[in-house]
Amino acid sequence: MPAPASNPTSLPDPASLHLVEYPDPVLRQKAKPIGDVSPQWRAIAERMLDVMDDERGIGLAGPQVGLAWRIFVLDVPAVESGEDARSPKDTPPTATEGPMVFINPVLKLEGPVEPYEEGCLSLPDIRGDVLRPPVVTVTALDEHGKQFTLRAGGLLARCIQHETDHLDGVLIIDKMTQGSRMKNRKAIKELEG
């Protein structure tokens, strides 16, 4: 059962938010649920989308901008996924049709895990194979506090799982295959300083 949602007494100025890189401790914290989706949360989501775009990413979670709260943003273009966002009738979409905000996401995973190379804005120059199920159903609140459910496949499913991991303090280096961990060992040590 999820912890009761709450809101901080004060949130930072959205303009002050910037990308946080490993090994910043906020990346290892379990993020707290958000209570009321206030206009301030909408401003934070907008700023997160700006940071994601500036960094040329397709997803960004609250901890990646220093906020240990359960929020992430995505914009997975069809060209990134190599497929059309409007998949055939029974096939889940593999891309978004524009930016999306996910608050307090809850996931249901489907299918056996498959390897796929992932990177992370908070782990520059580190890429490796991560095992994840191919399909996910996510229920979350949008930037207006309205609940929605989305079933996704392909890169979109992977992105949703990756960003939700951030909300639980989990990074791709924790889930990489053994071979990918070995390949990235030196780069990880350099980031750790």
Q: Which residues are catalytic?
A: 163
Of 31, 60, 29, nearest to 122 by C-alpha is: 60
Instruction: With beta carbons less than 8 A apart as the criterion, state whether 98 and 78 touch.
Output: no
Give the rounded distance of the alpha carbon of 81 from its chain centre.
Answer: 16
Would you state the structure tokens that stand for residue 25, as one six-digit string? 């401790």
Side chain identity at residue 16, one-letter code: S
Measured CA to CA in angstroms, residue 116 lies from 121, 132, 133, 171 at distances of 17, 8, 10, 15
Which residues are paired to 153 by β-bridges? 135
